[in-house]
A and B are shown apart, each in its own frame.
Chain A
Amino acid sequence: MATTKQTSPPDLLPLTPAVFHILLALADEERHGYAIMKEVERATEGQFQLGPGTLYGSIKRMLDMGLIEETDDRPDPVLDDQRRRYYHMSSFGAKVLKAELQRLENLLAIAHSKRALGGIV
């Protein structure tokens, strides 16, 4: 919200694991808090779990940084609870996620280039 205009994506790197996984969860569709939690659990095959405190602490900071936005759209009340807040990734958030993925790719390339690691990577 406040820092979007002044901050460039590389300034926010590296992302914390929670922020990274929440951005990934919101990359393809908007979700509410619990759906984000379940998507992160599914994508990481249970290796990374978010508790309610970490989830909403991260969401608060991501809203402040302009990485995500709250959407006004509400699902059909028959399908879901109207009180839930839905979030989607902002265009700035997409840029930050792209920059983070690029950073991770670079790291992976460096690791690949280290012959001493042999077949580890």
Chain B
Amino acid sequence: MNRMVLRPQQRLPLSLWIYRALLVLYPSDYRREYGPHMLQVFGDCLRDAHTQGGAYEVMHLWTFTLFDLFKTALEERSRQRIRLTKRTFVRLSGLAAMLGGVLWIAIIVTLASRPPGIPGRHREVNDLLAEILFALLLIVGGLAGAHTRQFSHSRWWGLPGVVAIVSAVLFFSLSQLAGIWQFDVFFIGYVLLILGSVLSGGVMLAGRALPRWATPFLIVGSLVLLGFNSDDARAYLALPFGAAAIVLGFALLLDKRMEPST
């Protein structure tokens, strides 16, 4: 009987898995008490959405649920005087890195699918700058969590990489105000982004606090960025950087070998 109704709901397990992962945003005691029930209710809503309107209804449900989740998680945490432990911070930063990576990939795919620029002119990218900066800030959040995770190993060695990437975000923002120097300012930000990411990846690899498979992606993804050119198919060379952020975030979110809180 159950097998007959499972087929149209094949997307449910992934949605439920994501929702369950997002429940980490709630305080732990609240999550223990109500998490399973919230998950069950969300599963019921998903089934309804699938039945009533398919993918469109599921998207609508996700939009509504994400807003509800972030709002109420903040409320519950503020009621508990925001006891943000090191472990929670690291897991949240993992989530930020994953979201940043997904957003980055979406931006690059959007960019690369646009028609090439007229000869002598660049392909239009400025309208995506706000999204690019937001994705980078999320990824910086992930790196901050990674360095918090391994602080006892690497001490302040992780800081230069994060500072370089934050500076890159600032240079990208400033490029909009730089007039004829726009390209130069943007290019400095671009170099800082690659430098900062490679530095961060190197420190994490040396620190060995994260699983070994998690950090080479960041170094390789950052170096591949060197070949990036928004004007043609080389735009796709930015994809591995987004994938690296997702891998890093995944490692942070799931890594159980947490150090004791300091």
Cβ of B56 within 8 Å of any chain A Cβ, yes or no, is: no
* One of A6-14, A45-53, A105-113 contacting the partner: A45-53
CA A59 – CA B76 in complex, angstroms? Answer: 13
Q: Is the CB of B37 within 8 A of A53?
A: no
Taking CB atoms, residues of chain B closer than 8 Å to A85 are: 37
A37, A51, A52, A56: residue with the most chain B Cβ atoms closer than 10 Å:
A52
Q: Is the CB of B75 within 8 A of A34?
A: no
Q: Is the CB of A51 within 8 A of B68?
A: yes
Q: Is the CB of B65 within 8 A of A51?
A: yes
Interface band, chain A: 10 to 19
Interface residues of A in 53-102 (CB under 8 A from B): 53-57, 59-60, 81, 83-85
Cβ of B73 within 8 Å of any chain A Cβ, yes or no, is: yes
Q: Is the CB of B40 within 8 A of A53?
A: no
Taking CB atoms, residues of chain A closer than 8 Å to B72 are: 51, 53-54, 57
Taking CB atoms, residues of chain A closer than 8 Å to B73 are: 53
24 pairs, A vs B, C-beta closer than 8 Å: A34-B40, A34-B41, A34-B45, A37-B41, A49-B64, A51-B67, A51-B69, A51-B72, A52-B45, A52-B68, A53-B65, A53-B69, A54-B68, A54-B71, A56-B34, A56-B37, A56-B38, A57-B72, A59-B34, A60-B33, A60-B34, A83-B40, A84-B37, A85-B37
CA A54 – CA B69 in complex, angstroms? Answer: 8
- B166 nearest CB across to chain A (Å): 31
Return the chain B residue nearest A51 by Cβ: B68
Return the chain A residue nearest B75 by Cβ: A57
Which residue from B38, B40, B67, B76 sits with its C-beta under 8 Å from A84?
B40
Which residue from B33, B44, B68 sits with its C-beta under 8 Å from A53?
B68
- A8 nearest CB across to chain B (Å): 23
Return the chain A residue nearest B26 by Cβ: A53
B37, B39, B45, B71: residue with the most chain A Cβ atoms closer than 10 Å:
B37
Taking CB atoms, residues of chain A closer than 8 Å to B38 are: 52-53, 55-56
- A79 nearest CB across to chain B (Å): 15
Q: Which 4 A-B pairs have the closest CB atoms?
A: A51-B68, A53-B72, A52-B38, A56-B34
CA A60 – CA B80 in complex, angstroms? Answer: 14
Q: Mask for B27-49, Cβ within 8 A of A = 1, else 0?
A: 00010011011111110110000
Which residue from A33, A51, A57 sits with its C-beta under 8 Å from B64?
A51
